[in-house]
């Protein structure tokens, strides 16, 4: 007969004996299996969704949208290059501003290569560079006038333009307006109008350069 120790007192008990002779502990035990948890369909869907979210690659924020803060530096750099080229008369203004828009997109693409480039994105970048270019050109131009004492030359140029207009408009009804243009306040008004027109022109030309650059560089991305 095989023997086994009692689970309670440790005394040897022959196999088949229902009770221990020493402590009367029963030697036949029934092992109850642990209940198996049945997962509900809702729990399965929740766990599956969590798994998919954890395994899905993160989408970079630049692939969804780009921020203006990323565009300020490349646009300002492109505008500075164009403004210096115009002040030093190395390039005519039209080509320089269009080039600023193109350079702004190229610099932005180099700074943020994960952003998909297209013409619709190049346009705002070019417009921002055109605005920067106008501001920088105005500041550098004012500094140049102050240093070189060219204020008198600019005033003479504008008065000559008024006199030429007066010769083309001899009608007396235009004389009050022409007299106002000859006054100091009229000269300031003409300068302000000229600056507004130049700003709009810079915006349009910069946008044009940005659209062209966005289309060209976007095509390179697809190829």
Instruction: Single out the residue of 120, 86, 85, 80 nearest to residue 104, CA to CA.
Output: 80
Rounded mean pLDDT of the chain?
77
Stretch 36-45: mean pLDDT: 51
Contact 207, 119 (CB under 8 A): no
Its pTM stands at: 0.60
Residue 19 phi, psi (nearest 5): -130, 150
User: Which pLDDT band, with edges at 50, 70 and 90, does 75 fall under?
Assistant: very high
Eight-state DSSP code of residue 211 = H
Dist. CA 180–CA 186, nearest whole Å: 5
Contact 9, 23 (CB under 8 A): yes
pLDDT at 101 over 80: yes
Burial of 16 (0-12, 13-18, 19+ CB in 10 A): exposed
Residue 82 has pLDDT above 70, yes or no: yes
Q: Does position 211 have pLDDT exceeding 70, yes or no?
A: yes
At 134-188, the pLDDT tens digits run 999 999 888 877 887 777 777 787 778 777 877 777 777 777 777 777 788 888 8
Residue pointed to by tokens 């809702």: 42
Residue found under tokens 């998909």? 116
């Amino acid at each position: 007969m095989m023997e086994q120790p009692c689970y309670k007192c440790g005394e040897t008990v022959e196999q088949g004996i229902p009770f221990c002779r020493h402590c009367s502990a029963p030697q036949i035990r029934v092992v109850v299996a642990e209940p198996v948890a049945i997962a509900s369909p809702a729990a399965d869907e929740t766990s599956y969704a969590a798994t998919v979210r954890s395994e899905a690659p993160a989408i970079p924020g630049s692939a969804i949208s780009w921020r203006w803060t990323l565009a300020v530096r490349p646009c300002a750099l492109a505008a500075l290059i164009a403004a210096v080229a115009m002040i030093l008369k190395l390039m005519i203004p039209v080509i320089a501003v269009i080039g600023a828009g193109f350079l702004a997109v190229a610099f932005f693409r180099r700074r943020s290569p994960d952003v998909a480039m297209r013409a619709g994105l190049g346009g705002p970048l070019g417009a921002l560079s055109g605005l920067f270019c106008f501001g920088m050109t105005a500041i550098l131009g004012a500094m140049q006038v102050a240093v070189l004492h060219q204020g008198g030359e600019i005033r003479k140029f504008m008065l000559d333009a008024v006199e030429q207009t007066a010769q083309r408009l001899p009608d007396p009804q235009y004389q009050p307006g022409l007299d106002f243009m000859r006054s100091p306040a009229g000269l300031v008004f003409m300068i302000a109008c000229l600056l507004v027109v130049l700003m709009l022109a810079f915006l349009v030309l910069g946008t044009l350069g940005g659209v062209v650059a966005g289309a060209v560089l976007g095509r390179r991305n697809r190829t």
